[in-house]
Amino acid sequence: MSATARKGAISEPKGIWVEKALAVARERQSATLPAAAQKLAHEAASVWGKLLFPTPSLEEWKYTNPEEIAAASLALPPAIPAQLSEDEIGRFCVPQLECSRLVFVDGHFSEKLSRMPSQAGLTVSRLQSGGEQPFGALKAHETEPFAALASALLSDGVCVSVQKNIAVTTPLHIIHLATKGAESCVITPRLFIEAGECSQVTVVESSVSIGAARYLSLPITEVRAAQGATVDLYKFQEESPGAFHVSNTDVEQSRDSTVRTHIFSFGGQLVRNNVNVRLAGSNCNAVLNGLSVLSSSQHVDNATMIHHIEPSSESREHFKGIYADKSRGVFSGTITVEQIAQKTNAFQSNQALLLSPNASLETRPQLKIWADDVKCTHGATVGQLNAEAMYYLRSRGIDRETARNFLVHAFASEVLTSVQLEPLKQYVEGVLSAKLDGEIGAN
């Protein structure tokens, strides 16, 4: 079957910009990337040729239509990025958070703005620096169209590697910043986290922007947790109101490991967060939390897949959304339990708070269970602010706006309290407050 004839794919002339971008990418990759990375990009380009842009005729894309992305006229960012000052990048740093920092501007690494870590047992390297690096080891690009496209357009990335028995004491903050130079561009950030046996590491990954550029961000984050490792990953997205953002987070856990992932979605016009977690060893623990706060006509789709492959593991998944104006949320959560994975505990919850009669949520929880000795539950609720709680607060002299904000914060608190970095928790709460006071305050 030809690629352009595949059911559910957008054919030419929409998406014609991709071929031009791929040609430029191949030229740049041959000059900057090591041979292994070039091979990965070549393989991904072949996969992309078979998958192409998805459409809502595909079940997994039923409620999210990327036609605007396909119809856009996009290109790779300029070879020379914008030059920024320390003050300009400072607004995207988390106050009071002591951390190392890696900054990418319009897809290009900025040595000037970065603060590299120096702890023994921790290695942070760029893809363009060459050497043997495990980028693409989890093959996220083999089945997901946008992951294939991101890998085919690969330009640079970061590998965080932690040796056996090393506890990294300082979090690592990776900032992907888009400027006005990203207008009509496609950016492909890539992060690989490799946690050795019984190691510990915390990574904060921010996708942010200056100004109102319209661009496409295709970040891929891959996590490989060895036996007994603990990884805390926080993904924060507050991009331009006109930005498109399709992320892929791919996690593979070995025996006795713990991976906690938090996804915060505040910006962007159309956002899709694909998360794939494989519990490939016994006694694994996976936590997957998310919070979306939307206004105007924003659209955020969280598509998660948790796969229990071995027995006696636990996964807990909790996504919440706050939707105002004409914004729309989508949640598709699939939990698969193999027959061998007895004694599995899996919990999934999706809750939405609609602040406007024009806001909406589509939710699709799914359980695929082949084992018989398990505890698996899922639930979804969609509602408005509690009228009785609002009346209680108003009757005690609290004005409507303050009462409303209080209840919204209370709704979001279950996700926020699970954030183990207190400065980051306060930072996210501040962003939430700013949105309540500004963009969604009139709802």
CB 268 within 8 A of CB 245: yes
Whole-number pLDDT of residue 384: 84
CB neighbours of residue 352 within 10 Å: 23
- Three-state DSSP at 292 gives strand
* Residue 256 CB coordination number (10 Å): 19
Q: Which long-range contacts (CB under 8 A, 24 or more apart) does 359-363 make?
A: 359/294, 359/323, 359/324, 359/325, 359/326, 359/327, 359/328, 360/323, 360/328, 360/329, 361/321, 361/323, 361/328, 361/329, 361/330, 361/331, 362/63, 362/328, 362/329, 362/330, 362/331, 363/330, 363/331, 363/332
pLDDT of the residue at 142: 79
Q: Is the pLDDT of residue 297 over 80?
A: yes
Domain boundaries, the chain: 3-280
- Indicate the pLDDT class of residue 66, thresholds 50, 70 and 90: very high
- The reported pLDDT for the residue numbered 6 is 54
Count the neighbouring beta carbons within 10 Å of the beta carbon of residue 195.
29
Contact between residue 62 and residue 56 where contact means Cβ atoms under 8 Å apart = yes
Per DSSP, the residues of 145-197 read: HHHHHHHHT----EEEEE-TT-B--S-EEEEEEE-GGGTTBEE--EEEEEE-T
Q: Would you call 347 exposed, middle or buried from its count of C-beta atoms within 10 A (0-12, 13-18, 19+)?
A: middle
pLDDT at residue number 104: 93
Q: What is the model's pLDDT at position 12? A: 46
Quote the pLDDT of residue 414: 85
| Residue ranges with strand state E in 257-359 | 258-265, 270-279, 285-294, 299-308, 314-323, 328-337, 344-354
The model's pLDDT over 351-407, given as tens digits with 9 standing for 90+, comes to 999 999 999 999 999 999 999 999 999 998 988 877 777 666 677 777 777 777 788
* 198-237 pLDDT per residue, tens: 999 999 999 999 989 999 999 999 999 999 999 999 999 9
- Is the pLDDT at 13 greater than 60? The verdict is no
Band (9; pLDDT cuts 50, 70, 90): low
Q: What is the arithmetic mean of pLDDT over 245-273?
A: 97
Residue 188 has pLDDT above 90, yes or no: yes
* Count of CB atoms situated within 10 Å of the CB of 229: 27
| Close Cβ partners of 278 (under 8 Å, ≥ 6 residues apart) | 251, 252, 253, 307, 309
- Cα separation, 282 vs 293, whole angstroms: 35
Q: Which residues pair with 185 in a beta bridge?
A: 75
Res. 54: pLDDT tops 70:
yes
pLDDT for position 246: 98
Nearest-angstrom CA–CA distance, 177 and 136: 23
Percent of residues, the chain, with pLDDT higher than 90: 75
Task: Report the pLDDT value the prediction gives residue 383, as an integer from 0 to 100.
Answer: 84
Q: What was the pLDDT predicted at 63? A: 96
How much is the mean pLDDT over the chain?
Answer: 90
What pLDDT score does 11 carry?
A: 47
State how far the Cα of 402 lies from the Cα of 352, in Å rounded to an integer.
20
Residue whose tokens read 């929880």: 365
Instruction: State the pLDDT at residue 1.
Output: 29
Give the per-residue pLDDT at 347.
Answer: 97
Mean pLDDT of 126-146: 73
More reliable by pLDDT, 82 or 351: 351
